[in-house]
Amino acid sequence: MQPLEKGSQKLLNAWAFYDWANSVYSLVIASAVFPIFYQALFKSANVETITIFGGEIRSTPLISYTTAAAFVVVSILIPILSGIADYVGNKKIFMKFFCYLGALSCMGFYFFSLENIVLSLFLYFLALIGFWSSWVFYNSYLPDVAYPEQQDKLSAKGFSLGYIGSVILLVFNLVMIMKPELFGLGDDGEAKMKAMRISFITVGVWWIVFSQYTFYYMPKGNKSNNKVTSQILFDGFKELRGVYRSLSENLILKRYLYAFFIYSMAVQTVMLVATYFGDQEINWGGEDKKTLGLISSILIIQLVAILGAQLTSKASKKFGNIPTLIFVNSIWATICIIAYFITTPFQFYATAGMVGMVMGGIQALSRSTYSKYLPETKDTTSYFSFYDVSEKIGIVIGMSIYGFIDQKSGGMRTSILFLMVFFVLGAILLLRIPRNK
């Protein structure tokens, strides 16, 4: 097939459609169904701790440590892979590999159990690595497929498609979980657990099937006749060092990355712990009401996020990217204060709506702003690798701080309130970015 021209509508649509394909992981696995399923495993077994590697550990620290460990591996893995991808000029093959790794691992969640907790957590570990590693290659295509004036709108379109697609699948899974008898699974608690297991299979199938449209039209990458040798395995780290050094010559990009690192740390932490916060801190009045309430709140976030991403894109066009990001960070800080006081389902729903309004906007605009500030280069994967590694290291730090405060304070409210500091600091750092560009 003849490669599509940069900026062509068909190429832009194909790029954005990968969000439709892979966002079901971030919604069903990371945010909605899996956290509920994971906690239900411990409750059904009537245990609070589990023995692993000779030690006793509670459920939430266990999944938090596994998540942090996976992000550490991603942070190390991405530079190596991006170095190879840039060298051989074929990053699509890496994007495909991690897409399939993540999707097949999600399907393996069907067998997730406390009896085989090590293998189960290893599948969770692989799914996270697959999602985030494919994401860095996907992001790196943005400046390759779109011109600077197209990138804000395209980035927002990608996130919007992701929200719509993942909501469709989540609604289907929600019906199956709440009404398992309609699907011939029975009507007891075990039937609901089985419905959750089946939902993990639907994630993998959805992810693989719909990603084919993107893979068909995406170019391989920048042409190269280079072959992989043992010497280039760590070229990615050299490239990251080169990117870091180049920041001294690009003051705008350097200051933007400092700000992004700080506020993204808080954004990603909120997204990862929101369901656990709702599970522990909100009085739902029963397990069935809790399940329905938590998934419904995630749906609210996703639906409102579609509008939020579009409004943020329009605001950036009128007021500029940096002023818009400063305003969005101030809203995030306000949300942290509000979350400290909420106790009822209605309050949680209202807060979820606020989160949705700024969640999609800050992610889409952060990605496109970074893309705009990049220097003229063919090695976009290396620059986006630096971007993603910064984000992942931030997640490890954010989750660690959150868990430490949670443990010391005896609750999650103080941890949420403390995240406000990162949003305020992020906004202050954004104010330091020169306004002449």
d(CA 399, CA 193): 28
**pLDDT averaged over consecutive 10-residue blocks of the chain (437 residues)?**
81 93 90 87 84 77 82 82 67 91 96 92 94 85 84 82 88 90 85 94 97 91 56 66 75 88 88 81 84 84 80 87 92 93 91 86 83 72 76 84 74 84 94 74
In the CATH scheme, what is the code of domain 9-223+232-431?
Answer: 1.20.1250.20
Q: Where are the domains of the chain?
A: 9-223+232-431
* Residues 6 or more apart whose Cβ sits within 8 Å of residue 118: 52, 53
pLDDT for the residue numbered 16: 93
pLDDT for the residue numbered 13: 93
d(CA 391, CA 376): 23
Side-chain-facing half-sphere of 93: CA atoms under 13 Å: 8
pLDDT for the residue numbered 168: 92
pTM of the model: 0.78
- Report helix, strand and coil shares of the chain as percent, to nearest 5: 80, 0, 15
pLDDT for the residue numbered 59: 77
pLDDT for the residue numbered 360: 73
pLDDT for the residue numbered 137: 84
Q: In 89-188, which residue ranges form alpha helices assigned H by DSSP?
A: 92-108, 117-140, 142-145, 148-178
pLDDT for the residue numbered 415: 83
pLDDT for the residue numbered 223: 53
